[in-house]
Structure formats: C-alpha cells, structure tokens
Structure 1
Amino acid sequence: MLLVLLPPVGPAPQVRVAVLAALAALQRELGAAIRVLPVDGGTHPSVVHSFHAPNLPCFVLMRQGVELMRQCGLPEGEAIALLLLSKLGPVEEAGE
C-alpha cells in the first residue's frame, strides 16, 4: 500500500483535484500490485501524525505493516511506478 500523506490545510481546490487525478493515474499504472491511498491530514490527522513526517506531502510504501520506502513530496515522475514496484521485492507464494 502506498500512503500519500497530504497536508491538512490544502492548496487551492483545483490543485487538490489535480493531485488526486495524478494519484488515480498512478494507481492505474501500478494496477493491483500496490494500492494508492491518499490520506488527508485534515480528515485523518491522527493517521498522518502517526507517521511523524516532518514535511507534507509525503508518501510511504508499506507491505504487511512494514515500511519499505518513504519520501517527501508527491509520487510523481516517469520512473516512480517502476521504483515503487522494485521496492516490493519478490512476491511470496501463499504457504511458503
């Protein structure tokens, strides 16, 4: 899961809409491998605070409760999907 921690006092509404559209596009690129979950600091302040992010926005890649990657800013750029997928490592088979 990719948690995208967004600041509580957001930018102009049109900027927030553009950010959410970009995250939806990233979700389409990642497919079922990684779920992209925007977390608004105004709506879910305790969740955002629990990650102790010094600057927002920030994104955190998690798998089964383990943090695999953290970076300030938004997950953007041509190579971000490949970078995120590479951090997952090999997929374990059920029962192994």
Structure 2
Amino acid sequence: MFLSSHSPALRPETAVLLVMLPLVPFGEVAPDALNNASILALQRRLGPAVRVLKVDEASHPAVVRSFGTPALPACVLVRQGVELWRHEGLPEDESSVNTLLQAARAQPQAR
C-alpha cells in the first residue's frame, strides 16, 4: 500500500480515501488516471482533511474484495471503519472533489 503523506500517524478524526486500483497484467502500464502523480495531485487538492491511500488489487486482493466494489478503479472514503462516501474512478472534477470533502467533514452515522 502507498500512503501519499509522510505523517507519522493519523489522528482518529482523519478521513482516509482508499483508492483501489485494478490488477494490471505484467508488462502493461496502468492508465494515466491511476498513476502516482495523479493520486498525489488529488492528495494536494484534498489537503489535510483527507489522507489518500493507494490499494493495489495485485498486492492486496483481500482488502479490495472486502469493499465489494463492482468496478475498479474505485475510491472509498472511511473514518474509523465507517464508510462515508464511494466513487467509481478517481474523483478528478471539482464537483466530485467538493462532495468528497463534504463527506469527510460530516460525522459518521452510527450503525
């Protein structure tokens, strides 16, 4: 997994955006939207409110499967184990980023 920030530990109130990436067959290159530069750019847009964590299906298939995402790439925003938001693909447009930030600021609903 790849944490796009070098902070030593996350505070409990920090929301984490899991960017789940599909398995890319050996020798193939992931689409541009999925490269580390794109993910780091998203982290800069989100600021300290959200930490972005890249989860590769090839390295962590059980983690990716546990979220039951029907299509990859997908993003799932969680805080303390509670899902706050889900999006197919990388949220690149302003509307998606704003919705993600609003979800990160919301209080998780008790289950």
Partners of 1:60 and 1:3 lie apart in 2 by 5
Q: Deviations over 1:11-38 (max 9, x none)?
A: 9426358632111001011111100111
C-alpha distance in structure 2 between counterparts of 1:79 and 1:7, whole Å: 24
Pairwise CA RMSD: 2.3
Question: Residues 47 and 73 (structure 1 numbering): CA distance in 2 closer, same or farther, change over 3 Å?
Answer: same
Q: Report the TM-score when normalising by structure 2.
A: 0.70
Are 2:13 and 1:13 equivalent residues in the alignment?
A: no
Given candidates 52, 55, 58, the residue that maps to 1:42 is: 58
Structure 1 segments unaligned to the other structure (5+ residues): 92-96
Q: Provide the residue aligned with 1:29 in structure 2.
A: 45
Is 1:4 equivalent to 2:19 in the alignment? yes
Letter in 1 for 2:88: C
Label 1:17 to 1:74 Cα distance change in 2 as closer, same or farther (>3 A): closer
Equivalent in 57, 66, 69 of residue 85 of structure 2: 69
In the alignment, residue 26 of structure 1 is paired with which amino acid?
Answer: L
User: Structure 1 stretches (4+) deviating beyond 3 angstroms?
Assistant: none
For 1:74 and 1:23, locate their aligned partners in 2 and report how far apart those are by CA, in whole Å: 8
Shift of 1:70: 0.9
Report the TM-score, using the length of structure 1 for normalisation: 0.80
Distance 1:14 1:89, change over 3 A: closer
Q: Percent identity?
A: 48
Deviation per CA, 1:44-91: give whole Å up to 9, x if none: 111101111111111101011100011212221123322111112357
Q: Distance in 2 between matches of 1:87 and 1:3?
A: 14
Q: How many residues align?
A: 91
